[in-house]
Structure 1
Amino acid sequence: MSDSSQAMNRRHFLAGAGSIGFALAVQPIAAGTIITDSQSLETGAPAIDTGSGAMPGYYARPAKAEGPLPLVIVIQEIFGVHEHIRDLCRRLAKQGYLAVAPELYFRHGDPAKIADIDTLVRDLVSKVPDSEVQSDLDATWRWAGAHGADLARAAVTGFCWGGRQTWLYAARNRQLKAAAAWYGKVEGPVNTITPRHPLDIAAELTVPVLGLYGAQDQSIPLASLEKMKAALHKAGGDDDILIYPDAGHGFNADYRPSYNARDAVDAWQKMLDWFARHGAR
């Protein structure tokens, strides 16, 4: 395909971004948004049995792979499983993984239809209990095992809201080989919805977690990350937190102004290396 044809396809794609699945709260979509095709992939929408309803989502996997595939559970941003999260699943599938992103707000509403982040947090996100999310991640784990995943080679990753949930799930599911948490908060107020935070469970971690953060992130103070580093060091596990000096919150979100291409590319490769190093490959 010529460069001009690729540019035309990108313009058509971005022109219809809202209708094909980018959350309304993140419009407009950046012109440089990365688009990963589904060539040689099988993609679809799972119906994940949670015991209290079928949870939708998105999965991607190599189309003609033989034998069970290594697994990555992809935990959504605060904006839900919109097009960016689906694209990340396709990127992982191109690396040979079965990648599945469950719609973890499905009982409470559709984040893609909410046009501003304050309303999204107040009317939806704040009503989703950690206990429900973690149970639904267990259901995703079971679904993946029944649909071609090798659970002996499994990892979890998550972004923003999902980065925090990644730390929590790494403490919960000790069968995971590795985890990568992207700019998820590590401490904060506790209540019945969020009774514990990553800093509270650092001593319980047996799954090695790679934390990927930006020093310019105004929502996650460096002091919080230093406390998390100290707690992890005290626990003595094989965990690490990388802090990119020039990156802010959402530095991997290529559809937004927060995107930092250099650091995103580096962090993505470090995540893949982390998974391979710890047996999730």
Structure 2
Amino acid sequence: MQHDIDAGTAGLDGLLNPPLSRRGFVMTSLMSGLTLATTRVEAQVIHTDASGVTAGEVTIPAGDGPMPAYRAVPEGAGPFPIVLVIEEIFGVHDYIKDICRRLAKAGYCAVAPELYARQGDLSTMTDVKQIVRDVISKTPDTQWIADLDATASWAATSAKGDPARLGVMGWCRGGRGAWLYAAHRRDLKAAVAWYGPIGGEPSAIQPRTAGDVAGEINAPLLALYGGADTGIPVASVEAARDAAKAAGRSVELVVYPDAPHGFHADYRLSYRKEAAEDGWRRALAFLKANGLG
């Protein structure tokens, strides 16, 4: 699998910088419950049990130590297609864990690594601005991309995952990650981006946006966005789709006209049941249609 990882870096000059020195892990285990950093409903709307799946916290060997993660995989021999789950900015909390179980129930080996474990303890943070300033903006793209590569390798060797059937799905900031990871991995079969930012202000450690790499994606991408998202203009997503199409790449864009940002997050007031359920059905059908059946 190393060959595929190396090959996946081609064409990403400006995204993959020389290796940066890594810091120790601040979070050595995942948070319990839901994030403290956003207004929540009383409880999650959806709770998926673990019957028929093996689910729980694991540690994944990263370049500088064990990285906490959550994995859910169907019972049975496998191998099962792998879906890398990229969290929102709030960490791998109960909502993200539930998504992994939902995917496992659908037949996938789903793994969500805590990609911000080195930058801060998200379980204690209550201020969204602090998370963005102290954690998100200080996490190099090279770091989380390498961590996803490590997660894919671990899933194939330790979690009954099939390395020949690899996909990625991300929410919010993780939706941006789905675009960038699709431009990184040549062996990726499919990507699903739930309302991931398309633009943004580049920095030395985050030099390219999702829009910048739209024409370089290596796998079909399903883009699920809200028409009432005040932070992501639909026109910017349409421009990314068009750039991909012009480069011979495939982006399927679905816009839910009345849905705000975070419409799939069933623990928040932004949740929109109809859009979330339709998007989930489309996401599963998209994975299967693109070699992850």
Query: What's the counterpart of residue 4 of structure 1?
Result: none
CA deviation string 1:86-105 (max 9, x = no partner): 00000001111110000001
CA deviation string 1:36-58 (max 9, x = no partner): 11112211222111111111110
Tell me how far 1:226 sits from its aligned partner: 2.2
- What is the identity, as a one-letter code, of the residue corresponding to 1:279? G
Counterparts of residues 127-166 of structure 1 (less than 5 Å): 127-147=138-158, 148-166=160-178
1:106 aligned to 2:112?
Answer: no
* Distance across 2 between alignment mates of 1:92 and 1:34: 13
Return closer, same or farther for 1:268/1:145 CA change in 2, 3 Å cut-off: same
1:126 aligned to 2:115?
Answer: no
- What is the identity, as a one-letter code, of the residue corresponding to 1:102? P
The secondary structure found in structure 2 opposite 1:48 is strand
Counterparts of residues 257-268 of structure 1 (less than 5 Å): 257-268=269-280
- Structure with the higher helix share, 1 or 2: 1
1:225 aligned to 2:237?
Answer: yes
What TM-score does the superposition give when structure 1 sets the normalisation length?
0.90
1:20 aligned to 2:32?
Answer: yes
Query: What's the counterpart of residue 261 of structure 2?
Result: 249
* Distance across 1 between alignment mates of 2:213 and 2:133: 26
Tell me how far 1:32 sits from its aligned partner: 5.3
Return closer, same or farther for 1:186/1:28 CA change in 2, 3 Å cut-off: closer
CA deviation string 1:120-155 (max 9, x = no partner): 111222111111111111111111111210111221
Query: What's the counterpart of residue 47 of structure 2?
Result: 35
For the Cα contact (< 8 Å) 1:30–1:254, is it kept in 2? no
* Distance across 1 between alignment mates of 2:201 and 2:127: 23
Query: What's the counterpart of residue 116 of structure 1?
Result: 127
The secondary structure found in structure 2 opposite 1:47 is strand
Return closer, same or farther for 1:28/1:203 CA change in 2, 3 Å cut-off: closer
* Distance across 1 between alignment mates of 2:147 and 2:185: 12
What TM-score does the superposition give when structure 2 sets the normalisation length?
0.86
CA deviation string 1:197-232 (max 9, x = no partner): 111112211211111100100110122112112212
Counterparts of residues 192-211 of structure 1 (less than 5 Å): 192-211=204-223
Task: Detail structure 1 runs of 4+ shifted over 6 Å in the superposition.
Answer: none
For the Cα contact (< 8 Å) 1:160–1:184, is it kept in 2? yes
Q: Name which of 217, 226, 240 aligns with 1:214.
A: 226
Over the matched positions of the two proteins, sequence identity in percent amounts to 48
For the Cα contact (< 8 Å) 2:39–2:269, is it kept in 1? no
Unaligned runs of 5+ in 1: 1-18
Query: What's the counterpart of residue 185 of structure 1?
Result: 197
In the alignment of these two chains, the number of paired residues is 262
* Distance across 2 between alignment mates of 1:158 and 1:247: 17
Tell me how far 1:31 sits from its aligned partner: 4.2
Tell me how far 1:33 sits from its aligned partner: 2.2
- What is the identity, as a one-letter code, of the residue corresponding to 2:77? E
For the Cα contact (< 8 Å) 1:30–1:257, is it kept in 2? no
CA deviation string 1:231-271 (max 9, x = no partner): 12211222211111111100000000100100110110101
* Distance across 2 between alignment mates of 1:58 and 1:29: 23
* Distance across 1 between alignment mates of 2:221 and 2:42: 30
Return closer, same or farther for 1:28/1:199 CA change in 2, 3 Å cut-off: closer
Query: What's the counterpart of residue 59 of structure 1?
Result: 71
For the Cα contact (< 8 Å) 1:61–1:97, is it kept in 2? yes
Query: What's the counterpart of residue 251 of structure 2?
Result: 239
